[in-house]
Amino acid sequence: MAIRNEWRGFKGVKWLDEVNVRDFIQNNYTQYDGDESFLTGPTEATNILWGKLQELQKAERAKGGVLDMETEVVSSMTAYGPGYIDPATKDLEKIVGLQTDKPLKRAFMPYGGIHMAEQACTTYGYQPSDKLHEIFTKYCKTHNDGVFDAYTDEMKRVRHNHILTGLPDTYGRGRIVGDYRRVALYGIDFLIEQKEIDKYNCGKRQMSEDIIRLREEISMQIKALKEMKKMAEIYGYDISQPAKNAREAVQWLYFGYLAAIKTQNGAAMSVGRVSTFLDIYITRDLQEGTLTEQEAQELIDHLVMKFRMVKFARIPSYNEIFSGDPVWATLEVAGIGQDGRHQVTKNCYRFLNTLINMGPSPEPNLTVLYSPRLPEAFKRYAAWISVKTSSIQYENDEVMRPIWGDDYSICCCVSATQTGKEMQFFGARANMAKTLLYAINGGVDAKTREQCGPKFRPITSEYLTWEELEPRFRDMLEWLADIYVNTLNLIHYMHDKYFYEAAEMALIDTDVRRTFATGIAGFSHVIDSICAVKYAKVKIIRDETGFNVDYVTEGDYPRYGNDDDRADEVAIWVLKTFLAKIKRHHTYRNAEPTTSILTITSNVVYGKYTGNLPDGRRAGAPLSPGANPSYGAEKNGLLASLNSVAKIPYEYALDGISNTQTIAPSTLGRTDEERANTLVNVMDGYFTKGAHHLNVNVFGVDKLLDAMEHPEKPEYANFTIRVSGYAVKFIDLTREQQEDVIARSAHERM
Amino acid sequence: MKECNSRTNAEAQRLRIHSFESFGSVDGPGVRFIAFVQGCAMRCAYCHNPDTWSCHGGELWETADILDRAERYRAYWGEKGGITVSGGEALLQAPAVADLFEQAHARGINTCLDTSGFYPAPSDPTPTDPAPTVVGGLSADISRLLAATDTVLLDIKHIDPARHKALTGQDNAGILALARRLSELGIKTWIRHVLVPGYTDDEPSLRALNAFLRTLHNIERIEVLPYHTMGKYKWQKLGIPYRLEGVEPPTAESVARAEQILREGCSC
């Protein structure tokens, strides 16, 4: 095959005539072992555009969180003409493309559920269109309608009782990362050709239900690819052919992503592992003398600016669970290749440098694929960025690479997925703390007093013993796993049917692997409660009806978060027991069941609906987030806490084990340089021990308190903090969540 | 104080521990595991750990068990980190701390001693050491401890003997002697000085301390630690009247100024 001009200078063979971006990267990337001294500051254009965007963000906040909203036009790739941050400065935008016709204007996306789309409008004072209402209630069915047509009474009951919460039954499920790099490397026409071949080969003889569905899906993907070309034409670009240079590569890639966020409002709309890929184009341009370092940084700054602008119209109940308007435009840097070469390029530095050039920001959700074997200079730089901005997270490449290879992306907050090879059925999470209470109370909900779970025998003894509790807890978990998996099966069936992600799936292999991502909430409380029962004496307090309402614990007991093997073994037992029960069930499209210990900010809402627990947590108080130990349980400092979390085997929670730590600058060191070095030591140790994820915040409680009381201060406009698996602007959290964050930010030693 | 120093033979290999901290990053080089020992002879007015004063209480720990526990965090230490013994006052349990540090070195663990420098007179016989030998002005135990110490964090409370006594209840002659001895032995030392407005922050005192520090040749760092009130609740809990009522923490500027004065002419 003659090498195309767009591919001049590129090496490798396999990727030339098949879609194989990984092979392209492996053959062409340039490792960088140096430090950050080559980086450049923002250009004037960047400063002007970012200045305008900050004004818009300010106006958005002043208007109660939404700047503008569409009510008349259904979002699609070609629903609007071109949009710019400001038409007057459109020539300054090196990378173009907005979700709608105006910046920060939220599109109307009814396919997940027309009622939710309309409620989002009315919540913020917009009047939804009568015509669209008629169309989507009379003539066109949505995902949400499909789900509720099929839900059983029991499914509605578990939803209503909040033992399952945050299910993607009213909005896009997200967590599907199109391989947006394919648009840049191959151009759309080649991708269409490949999909045509797949369609030709699909179901020549046997027209089973699976095959019919797949043929329909491939056709939808091909249509989506054709529409992407039209979308790019609106902005004056022809993306039918491969990108010729770095600027085109960045732009082509962004068009792929733009197609996704114009057609889907998934909870997580991740960008993927694009940094090292784009570096190949930038390096070639730098060598050819057609691009300067300053221009390269500007391209990345402008791309990131676009990721900072992604918005979806949401309803209040959604915002309660996913607080702070997140979109999880997750984007990875670094990592190590299968051949042992690290994948740190100059572009990994450039992406982190956007946090300096344009200040801290929650989006894109910048993720460092960490390994103690990464170059020291890069580790120190990343840690220094954490110290300065608290805006990035770290995930252990050493535990993920053996499972997902060396070209995986993070598809949500922390979950890995092989780029272009896999998709995920997002399953929110089940409240395990509540399940424990159901086991004690025979399936009756402590909050609603409804018989939500199965009517097993409640515990009637004076003291809670493990002999009595264990079999009941196992039975209740069995029930939970059953209702959970079945509910998700139903939801994803309907999502495929009514809200199929044609644009993203067009950029993923036709023969896609699927994971089925369940999740656990209330992890630490279940562990500590079990430990209390096992190692201390837990007396049950009953109300006048004989219902178990509270627990008095006499004596000391080990608690999760102290590097105490007795408690940490319970943690492992809980996880393994739950996953084993999940795995017993059939999953929709034979997806591989996984689980996560990850709660986003839903720990606050989940806690509201959970009664008193034997570990002393009071009814209504927030649950501990993700895999974090309970607030106040940690008695031996940060590393003891990290050691406990590091013991949880990633193999049993492939969807992720999230841990968020806030460290006061004074406890990390006396200067920023010292702090960065300490952080590198901490992460080297934590990840060497096999941990999966770490969110790092570096600031003191005093700053949080001041930001809560004085959100109007300019220095807090972009004050970004990491919460469970993502970042938010602190001032965008609800007061309740702010207080929760403050209560947990106490790693300050006396 | 006498009680701290007089231990039975069975306790010789054991340390009276107040608590452990898995993550110390400003208590010696790199990331460190900290063992806080129980018992101190000083009664500093600004102490933020008065709960470590008493020589009773705490828990007796075998030195080997302490190291086993510390080694759980070895992966975090990098090249510089290790263990720090802080207090309380580690020198009051010098034989056991010496054992601990010798065993740590045998395991390849870096050791750091965080001390006020105040220890009982070497001539005082104790049950474990009825006829103490004196080497270079230090007891054999303390000499042995220093031989196994990689870094010393020496907290000099005040350079003036009378004001030192008023502030801490003890003389500073022995402390300054120890500082000189550390310099002679060439043990890397970080000097620390807590800045308490109205007590330790006047310029003449700082200058006098600086003059003393200039005579030492082993100083790696000089740190000024701002007085804080975070330990005050412990005094209240223990029912001890707090002597610095109404004293505010120093400003960032005065801390910087004090650091500048103390570091003048020093190589660090």
**Ordered DSSP codes for B73-129:** TGGG-TTT-EEEEESS-GGGGHHHHHHHHHHHHHTT-EEEEEE------TT--BTTB
Rounded to two decimals, the ipTM of the complex is 0.91
Cβ of B76 and A681 within 8 Å?
A: yes
- Chain A nearest CA to B127, separation (Å): 34
- For the whole model, what pTM was predicted? 0.94
Nearest chain A residue to B225 by CA distance is A670
**Does the bond joining A364 to the residue before it have cis omega, within 30 degrees of 0?**
yes
Which residues numbered 508-567 in A keep a CB inside 8 Å of some CB on B?
563
| Percent of chain A predicted with pLDDT > 70 | 99
Using a CB-CB distance cutoff of 8 angstroms, which residues of chain A are in contact with residue B20?
A: 636-637
| Average of per-residue pLDDT across A38-63 | 97
Using a CB-CB distance cutoff of 8 angstroms, which residues of chain A are in contact with residue B78?
A: 677, 680-681, 684-685
Cβ of B77 and A685 within 8 Å?
A: yes
A104/A106 Cα distance (integer angstroms): 6
Could you tell me which of A365, A361, A368 has the C-alpha nearest to residue A330?
A365
Cβ of A682 and B23 within 8 Å?
A: yes
Q: Is A665 on the interface with B (CB under 8 A)?
A: no
Could you tell me which of B211, B196, B184, B210 has the C-alpha nearest to residue B250?
B196
The predicted structure's pLDDT at residue A548: 96
Using a CB-CB distance cutoff of 8 angstroms, which residues of chain A are in contact with residue B33?
A: 639
Nearest chain A residue to B70 by CA distance is A640
| Average of per-residue pLDDT across A255-269 | 97
Cβ of B231 and A670 within 8 Å?
A: no
Cβ of A668 and B20 within 8 Å?
A: no
The predicted structure's pLDDT at residue B122: 52
- Chain A nearest CA to B27, separation (Å): 9
B9 band by pLDDT with thresholds 50, 70 and 90: very low
| Cross-chain CB nearest to B22 (options A637, A684, A689) | A637
Using a CB-CB distance cutoff of 8 angstroms, which residues of chain B are in contact with residue A750?
A: 48-49, 230-231, 234
Asked if B181 and B136 touch (Cβ cutoff 8 Å), the reply is yes
- Chain B nearest CA to A133, separation (Å): 58
Q: Is the dihedral of CA B67, B69, B73, B75 positive or negative?
A: positive
Return the structure tokens found at A25. 């990267």
- Chain A nearest CA to B162, separation (Å): 29
Say if residue B266's pLDDT is above 90. Answer: no
Say if residue B21's pLDDT is above 80. Answer: yes
One-letter identity of residue A162: H
Nearest chain B residue to A641 by CA distance is B22
B12 band by pLDDT with thresholds 50, 70 and 90: low
Other Cβ atoms closer than 10 A to A177: 30
**pLDDT tens digits along A381-394:** 999 999 999 999 99
User: What class does CATH assign to B2-263?
Assistant: alpha beta
H or E segment at B182?
A: helix B173-185
A307/A309 Cα distance (integer angstroms): 5
| Average of per-residue pLDDT across A562-587 | 98
SS3 assignment, position A698: strand
Asked if A691 and A394 touch (Cβ cutoff 8 Å), the reply is no
Q: Which residues of B touch A (CB under 8 A)?
A: 20-26, 30-31, 33, 48-49, 72-78, 81, 223, 230-231, 234
CA count, 13 A, side-chain hemisphere, A16: 15
**pLDDT tens digits along A199-221:** 999 987 789 999 999 999 999 99
Nearest chain A residue to B31 by CA distance is A678
A332/A337 Cα distance (integer angstroms): 14
| Percent of chain B predicted with pLDDT > 90 | 68
A747/A678 Cα distance (integer angstroms): 15
Say if residue B28's pLDDT is above 80. Answer: yes
The predicted structure's pLDDT at residue A666: 87
A686/A691 Cα distance (integer angstroms): 6
Residues of A carrying an active site annotation: 412-413
Cβ of B78 and A681 within 8 Å?
A: yes
Cβ of B75 and A678 within 8 Å?
A: no
SS3 assignment, position A390: coil
| Cross-chain CB nearest to B21 (options A563, A637, A681) | A637
Which residues lie closer than 8 Å to A612 by C-beta, 6 or more apart? A446, A549, A550, A551, A618, A619
Q: Is the dihedral of CA A99, A102, A106, A109 positive or negative?
A: negative
Nearest chain A residue to B226 by CA distance is A666
Relative to beta strand B151-155, strand B14-24 is unpaired
Mutate to test the interface with B, among A639, A694, A702 (most CBs of B within 10 A): A639
**pLDDT tens digits along A483-533:** 999 999 999 999 999 999 999 999 999 999 999 999 999 999 999 999 999
Which residues lie closer than 8 Å to A547 by C-beta, 6 or more apart? A441, A444, A446, A449
The per-residue DSSP string of A16-33 comes to HHS--HHHHHHHH-----
| Average of per-residue pLDDT across A416-432 | 97
A747 band by pLDDT with thresholds 50, 70 and 90: very low
Cβ of A678 and B73 within 8 Å?
A: no
| Average of per-residue pLDDT across B99-120 | 94
- Chain A nearest CA to B176, separation (Å): 26
Q: Is A640 on the interface with B (CB under 8 A)?
A: yes
**pLDDT tens digits along A686-714:** 999 999 999 999 988 888 989 999 998 88
Q: Burial, A149: exposed, middle or buried (Cβ in 10 Å; 0-12, 13-18, 19+)?
A: exposed
The predicted structure's pLDDT at residue B131: 47
Using a CB-CB distance cutoff of 8 angstroms, which residues of chain A are in contact with residue B223?
A: 670
- Chain B nearest CA to A405, separation (Å): 25
The predicted structure's pLDDT at residue B132: 47
Cβ of B72 and A563 within 8 Å?
A: yes
Cβ of A681 and B31 within 8 Å?
A: yes
Domain residue spans of chain B: 2-263
Q: Counting one residue from A and one from B, how many pairs have CB atoms under 8 Å apart?
A: 75
Using a CB-CB distance cutoff of 8 angstroms, which residues of chain A are in contact with residue B76?
A: 639, 642, 681-682, 684-686
A626/A604 Cα distance (integer angstroms): 11
Largest pairwise CA distance in chain B: 50
Could you tell me which of A280, A347, A344 has the C-alpha nearest to residue A38?
A347
A617 band by pLDDT with thresholds 50, 70 and 90: very high
Say if residue B124's pLDDT is above 80. Answer: no
The predicted structure's pLDDT at residue A749: 39
| Cross-chain CB nearest to A669 (options B26, B72, B76) | B26
Using a CB-CB distance cutoff of 8 angstroms, which residues of chain B are in contact with residue A674?
A: 25
The predicted structure's pLDDT at residue A172: 93
The predicted structure's pLDDT at residue A724: 77
- Chain B nearest CA to A706, separation (Å): 19
One-letter identity of residue A658: S
Nearest chain B residue to A663 by CA distance is B23
- Residue labelled with tokens 């805006």: A391
Using a CB-CB distance cutoff of 8 angstroms, which residues of chain B are in contact with residue A686?
A: 75-76
Using a CB-CB distance cutoff of 8 angstroms, which residues of chain B are in contact with residue A681?
A: 25, 30-31, 76-78, 81
Asked if B121 and B170 touch (Cβ cutoff 8 Å), the reply is no
Using a CB-CB distance cutoff of 8 angstroms, which residues of chain B are in contact with residue A556?
A: none
H or E segment at A60?
A: helix A44-62
Using a CB-CB distance cutoff of 8 angstroms, which residues of chain B are in contact with residue A696?
A: none
Q: Is A668 on the interface with B (CB under 8 A)?
A: yes
CA count, 13 A, side-chain hemisphere, A354: 31
**pLDDT tens digits along A85-118:** 999 999 999 999 999 999 999 999 999 999 999 9
Could you tell me which of A736, A697, A734, A742 has the C-alpha nearest to residue A719?
A697
Say if residue A600's pLDDT is above 90. Answer: no
H or E segment at A550?
A: strand A548-554
Q: Is the dihedral of CA A502, A508, A514, A519 positive or negative?
A: negative
Cβ of A639 and B20 within 8 Å?
A: no
Give the least confident one: A96-110, A121-135, A724-738, B27-41: A724-738
Q: Burial, A343: exposed, middle or buried (Cβ in 10 Å; 0-12, 13-18, 19+)?
A: buried
The predicted structure's pLDDT at residue B4: 53
The alpha-helical segments, DSSP class H, found in A633-695 are: 638-646, 665-668, 672-688
Looking at every residue in chain A, the average pLDDT score rounds to: 95
Say if residue A452's pLDDT is above 60. Answer: yes
- Chain B nearest CA to A669, separation (Å): 6
Q: Is A681 on the interface with B (CB under 8 A)?
A: yes
The per-residue DSSP string of A645-660 comes to HHTS-GGG-TTEE--E
B57 band by pLDDT with thresholds 50, 70 and 90: confident
